[in-house]
Structure formats: C-alpha cells, structure tokens
Copies of this chain bind each other. A is one copy, B any other.
Amino acid sequence: MHPAERVLLGPGPSPVPQRVLRALAAPTLGHLDPQYLAIMDEVCELLRQVFRTRNALTFPVSGTGMAGMECAAVNLVEPGDEVIIGVNGVFGTRMKDVMERCGAVVHALEAPWGETFSAAQVAAAFAAHPRARLLGIVHAETSTGAHQPLEGLAAIARAHDALLLVDAVTSLGGHELRVDDWEIDAIYSGTQKCLSCPPGLSPVSFGPRALARMDARKTKVQSWYLDVSMLRKYYSGGGGGRVYHHTAPINMTYALHEALAIVLEEGLEARIARHAAMHQRLRRGLEALGLNYIPSRSLHTLNCIRIPEGADDAGVRRRLLDEYGIEIGAGLGPMAGKAWRIGLMGHGATLRNVDLVLAALGNCLGRSAAST
C-alpha cells in the first residue's frame, strides 16, 4: 500500500503538510490520559481562535463533516419544530434531509444552484413562517462554489427567536468567518478543507442561545454518539468533572492540533488574504483560458467552472490525475458532467499550485491563454 503523492486541488481533502502527517503518527495515548486531555483542551482553545469565538462548547466531533451537520441537527431540533433551510446545492439539500430525519418541519428557502440568498429573501421566509425556530444556511456551498454572505442574518433570526446554524465546512480557515461578531449560534466544519488536516473530525461550536435551546429540550437527543448533553461533560468538563463518553480519535486529534497551530502561525488575516489572492490569480488564468465561473459570488476556496463545449469531462480529469497527479473535482448532483471544481484550500492555496493547474488544464484542453 503506497498512496501516490497527489496534488489535491479538488473539493477536499486538501494537501496535508508534512508537519501534520508527522503529528498524526505520534505515539497513541489513552483518551483519559492527562497528557491527552491537555492536548484536547488545547485543540478546543485553538478552534475557538480559528472560529473567532469565546464559546466554551467548541470541540471536534468524532466523525467527518457530515457528522458535524448531524450533531447540530439532532441536538438543536425536536420533532415538530419548524425550521428554514437554505437549499441551493448538495449541502443545503442534505441539511434539509438531516433535519427531516430529526422530525423537523422544513421550510426550504430555495435558490438556483450557484446563487446565494439575500437578507431580504431570508426575512421574507421568516415572514411566511414566523414560527420557524432555526435558520440553517451553508456559508460555502462545496457543490456549486457559491459564497453565501452571513452578515445581517443573525438579526433576522433573533427577531423571530430562531437560532442561526451555519455550515462552514469549506470556509473555516480560508474565508472571513466571525462566529461571535456575526452572532452565529451553532456552526460546524471539517478538518480536510482549509485546515489542511486529513478527514476524520468535524469542529463544531455552540453558543449560549444554542445551549439554552438544548437545555430546554423535552425529548432525548435521537443520537447517543452525537448527544451534546453528554459530550459536553467530556469536552468542557474541566476541573476534575470530566466524564468518559466515547473513545475519541486520538491520533486525529494530534493532527488537528498541529494543523490549527499552523493556521495561527500564519495568522487568520494573512491566511484569508492568501486564499483571496490565489483565487484571483486562478480566476484570471481560467478566464484567459476561456473558462467561466458558475456561481455569481464565488468562494475563494473552491472554484466551480463550467466544462467548455466539446471537452471530455472524465477524460480531462483522468489525464490530470494520471499525467500530473493532480486531483480536481467533478460536478455533483445536477452539475455532474457540467462543472469542474478546483479547490485552493489551506496548504494547497499556493502560487505553485495555481500556475501548475492552469498549465495542466490548458494542456489537457489544448488551449493556452494566448490562443483565446
């Protein structure tokens, strides 16, 4: 078993720094070892800094990004609760599905794939469904590359006593994201995108309004594995009150610790600026090749472009992989065969990778910037 050294420029996982791989391979400790608990406490504190929050309950769920989504849903929603979910891609669609499995009555706020929602649209949805108790929205829609503005949404939700739940899987560590300033009540992400850690954990954060909602539940959380009322006794027990719940993925916690340290060594502002600059450079290059973006407001971290007329979708991706060792993403769902997704996330968002993927894509398409 000898995995190749790919250049991971798809929708995630993103390239993992050697420092993180080395941390991953550090000796395994017990999950109740004082050394491990200290490392876990540090991970939670580093996550607070990256989320820009003071939320005590900030920790990595022991599963990949979708486990974070499910963790938020099962804890914040009870059967019969009305919720408004923004649906404009695969992940909004999934959030609707996950919420329905929790017994929620979902009012889908829909937009064409690739588009985002305005504050006015969100306000109208609450006007139509004033009993909605939660607004769920995807900050970075990995399936379309659309970048949803979040400013102002919390005020609308709060005016209706609703929580704001945000999917930040493809934005945390790559895009401006301010959990406390933007009054986000609950948020989840993944490790394998802009944090450049392998997949396996899902960072989440719950604010005081989310905790109050959980404390007021009338029903038991339907998932034992993701039940925050128990998880919080392990992750924020502190002071000798820590209670065993389940065995955490020890070595993945080491890797996340190192990945977060790297994020903060670079600095969040510098990192976000780097993602913006690399996105701009890629965009100029793609447009010079005659390639067009699908979303009106593109993410910096994920670039979703229309496959040009006559190009062989699978053939081009196979050549990129076989000849260059470069992975880019195919279209998902209704965008299958219509879109390519080029990720510039975390450790992968470099000048070297941008110029490489432009050269490789130009070659595979038989186009050059000069020829168009």
Contact = CB atoms under 8 A, between A and B. Distances in A.
Interface string A11-39: 01101100001111111111101111001
A21 B25 contact: yes
Contact of A225 (B13, B67, B190, B258): B67
A252 interface: yes
B65 A247 contact: yes
A223 interface: yes
B244 A332 contact: yes
Nearest to A199: B247
A257 interface: yes
Number of copies of this protein chain within its complex: 2
A3 B67 contact: no
A298 interface: no
A75 interface: no
Contacts of A10: 30
Assign chain A's interface to a size class: 35 or more
A70 B200 CA distance: 17
A12 to B, nearest CB: 7
Nearest to A15: B28
A229 interface: no
Interface stretch (A93-101, A149-157, A289-297): A93-101
Contacts of A192: 28, 247, 250
Contact of A251 (B24, B98, B327): B24
Among A34, A101, A224, A252, max chain B CB count under 10 A is at A224
Contact of A26 (B2, B34, B220): B2
A63 interface: yes
B25 A25 contact: yes
Nearest to A29: B3
Nearest to A332: B244
A200 B252 contact: yes
B3 A30 contact: no
B200 A3 contact: no
Contacts of A102: 222
Given A13-B247, A21-B25, A247-B190, A199 B31 contact: yes
The 6 closest A-B pairs by CB, nearest first: A200-B249, A25-B25, A198-B251, A21-B25, A66-B246, A199-B247
Given A1-B42, A21-B251, A252-B252, 19 more contacts: A1-B26, A1-B254, A2-B26, A3-B28, A6-B27, A6-B29, A16-B27, A24-B24, A24-B251, A31-B199, A62-B63, A62-B200, A70-B223, A102-B222, A192-B250, A200-B200, A222-B223, A223-B223, A244-B332
